[in-house]
């Protein structure tokens, strides 16, 4: 029973007593009595019930659920509407997302583009998107060692790798090579029919592991005329392992530096002066002023050592057939570019 309800009843009671009473003071005392009783009701309500009256929402059809204060819960009560939050936006984004601050959205076939925030690392980003570090590295060949704030990197929908389709490829051959079912390739690549019919394009291979150092040429920067052809001969012009082309000529043909640089050691195979070296055979590895690297493999002999500074056009070795040189019969140089497009790709 509410307080207003009590006051209404006591007001009616007072009127009744005033009309029936004969004493001129009876009306005065009845008012005092009503006030005292009202204060008593208020005291009892405050002491025993703490004024905890429920706020109820009424709509057509009767009483609805009990709701809390709208300023606390944001619930809609009697026309009250929640004000949209004005929280600051997160500077990270995923392209194609309608809500950039949520990091939710896809750019194409589930592939995302992510802007690196201050203090983030490759390992941390991989964990953030539940991907392996290898997947992050393979899908972002432009990354040297670590990312920095503002870098834009590719995020795949799950672990796997991106593959650049060539005219000789088919969904069957790629499925067999990378041990990924054709149904999965089709599922993650809705445009696979046009990609394979044209013999060009990028597809995502879910759960695949690299059989070789697969390179996504599309993501590599174009450095224009920074590099020159490292040898005279027949340029096969077909992109293959490690963003490389094969240039063939007779054994002993001079091989020169494609750009100014310094000779460095390979982290895995060392100086490359001898041995199989993972199939490279004898090789020289140069680092250039723009952060790119070039490798000259299958050499018969290398004429440079670690730390040597070389100029564009300077002789660094001669053609041979060391290592795994079966892709091209006879002597040739495997010319590989790291972190940039290979300008000598013809097909």
CB 332 within 8 A of CB 251: no
Q: Are residues 328 and 283 in the same domain?
A: yes
Range of the domain at 284: 234-338
Q: Are residues 171 and 252 in the same domain?
A: no
Three-class SS state of 10: helix
User: For residue 36, is it within any domain?
Assistant: no
User: For residue 56, is it within any domain?
Assistant: no
Find, among 232, 246, 291, the residue nearest to 264 by Cα. 291
Q: Are residues 190 and 243 in the same domain?
A: no
User: For residue 279, is it within any domain?
Assistant: yes
User: For residue 75, is it within any domain?
Assistant: no
What pLDDT, on the 0 to 100 scale, is given for residue 82? 35
What pLDDT, on the 0 to 100 scale, is given for residue 94? 43
What pLDDT, on the 0 to 100 scale, is given for residue 141? 78
Number of domain units in the chain? 2
User: For residue 288, is it within any domain?
Assistant: yes
Q: Are residues 196 and 239 in the same domain?
A: no
Provide the token pair at 21: 């009473």
Q: Are residues 239 and 308 in the same domain?
A: yes
Provide the token pair at 342: 């290979």
What pLDDT, on the 0 to 100 scale, is given for residue 313? 96
In angstroms, rounded to a whole number, what is the distance separating the alpha carbons of residues 193 and 170?
A: 10
The angle, 0 to 180 degrees and rounded to 10, between the axes of the packed helices 26-49 and 3-20 is 160
Provide the token pair at 22: 């004969």
In angstroms, rounded to a whole number, what is the distance separating the alpha carbons of residues 134 and 20?
A: 97
pLDDT, one tens digit for every residue, the chain (347 residues): 555 555 565 565 556 555 554 555 556 666 667 677 777 766 666 555 544 444 333 333 343 333 333 333 332 333 333 333 333 344 434 443 333 334 434 445 678 888 889 899 988 999 999 998 888 888 887 777 788 888 888 899 999 888 888 888 899 999 988 889 999 999 999 999 998 998 888 899 998 877 654 545 556 788 989 999 999 999 888 777 678 899 999 999 999 999 999 999 988 888 999 998 878 899 999 999 999 999 999 999 999 999 999 999 999 999 999 988 765 668 999 999 988 989 998 76
> Domain end: 187, 206, 225, which one?
206
β-bridge mates for residue 161, sequence order: 205
Q: Are residues 253 and 201 in the same domain?
A: no
What pLDDT, on the 0 to 100 scale, is given for residue 44? 66
Q: Are residues 202 and 238 in the same domain?
A: no
What pLDDT, on the 0 to 100 scale, is given for residue 326? 67
Q: Are residues 278 and 197 in the same domain?
A: no
Q: Are residues 138 and 188 in the same domain?
A: yes
CB contact set of 262 (below 8 Å; sequence gap of 6+): 286, 287, 307, 308, 309, 310
Three-class SS state of 118: coil
User: For residue 309, is it within any domain?
Assistant: yes
What pLDDT, on the 0 to 100 scale, is given for residue 56? 39
The answer, as to whether pTM is greater than 0.75, is no
Burial of 158 (0-12, 13-18, 19+ CB in 10 A): middle
Q: Are residues 241 and 200 in the same domain?
A: no
User: For residue 224, is it within any domain?
Assistant: no
Q: Are residues 201 and 269 in the same domain?
A: no
User: For residue 324, is it within any domain?
Assistant: yes
Q: Are residues 159 and 249 in the same domain?
A: no
Q: Could you tell me the CATH number of the domain that includes residue 118?
A: 3.10.350.10
Q: Could you tell me the CATH number of the domain that includes residue 264?
A: 2.70.70.10
């Amino acid at each position: 029973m509410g307080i207003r309800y009590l006051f209404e009843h006591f007001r009616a009671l007072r009127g009744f007593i005033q009309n029936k009473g004969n004493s001129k003071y009876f009306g005065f005392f009845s008012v005092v009595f009503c006030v005292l009783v009202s204060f008593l009701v208020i005291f009892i309500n405050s002491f025993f019930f703490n004024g905890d009256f429920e706020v109820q929402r009424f709509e057509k059809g009767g009483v609805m659920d009990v709701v809390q204060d709208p300023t606390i819960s944001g619930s809609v009560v009697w026309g009250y509407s929640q004000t949209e939050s004005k929280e600051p936006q997160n500077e990270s984004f995923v392209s194609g997302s309608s809500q950039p601050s949520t990091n939710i959205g896809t750019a194409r076939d589930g592939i995302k583009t992510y802007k690196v925030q201050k203090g983030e690392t490759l390992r941390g980003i991989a964990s953030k998107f539940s991907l392996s570090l290898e997947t992050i590295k393979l899908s972002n060949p432009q990354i040297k060692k670590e990312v920095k704030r503002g870098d834009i990197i590719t995020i795949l929908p799950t672990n796997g790798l991106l593959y650049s389709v060539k005219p000789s490829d088919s969904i069957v051959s790629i499925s067999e090579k990378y041990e990924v079912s054709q149904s999965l390739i089709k599922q993650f690549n809705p445009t696979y029919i046009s990609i394979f019919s044209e013999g060009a394009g990028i597809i995502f291979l879910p759960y695949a592991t690299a059989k070789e150092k697969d390179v996504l040429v599309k993501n590599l920067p174009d450095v224009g005329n920074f590099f020159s052809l490292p040898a005279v001969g027949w340029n096969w012009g077909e992109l293959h392992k490690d963003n490389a082309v094969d240039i063939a000529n007779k054994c002993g043909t001079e091989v020169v530096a494609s750009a100014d640089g310094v000779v460095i050691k390979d982290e895995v195979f060392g100086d490359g002066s001898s041995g199989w070296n993972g199939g490279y055979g004898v090789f020289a590895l140069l680092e250039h002023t723009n952060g790119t690297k070039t490798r000259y493999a299958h050499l018969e002999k290398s004429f440079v050592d670690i730390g040597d500074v070389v100029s564009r056009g300077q002789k660094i070795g001669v053609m041979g057939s060391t290592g795994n040189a079966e892709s091209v019969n006879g002597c040739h140089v495997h010319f590989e570019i790291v972190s940039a497009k290979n300008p000598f790709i013809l097909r």
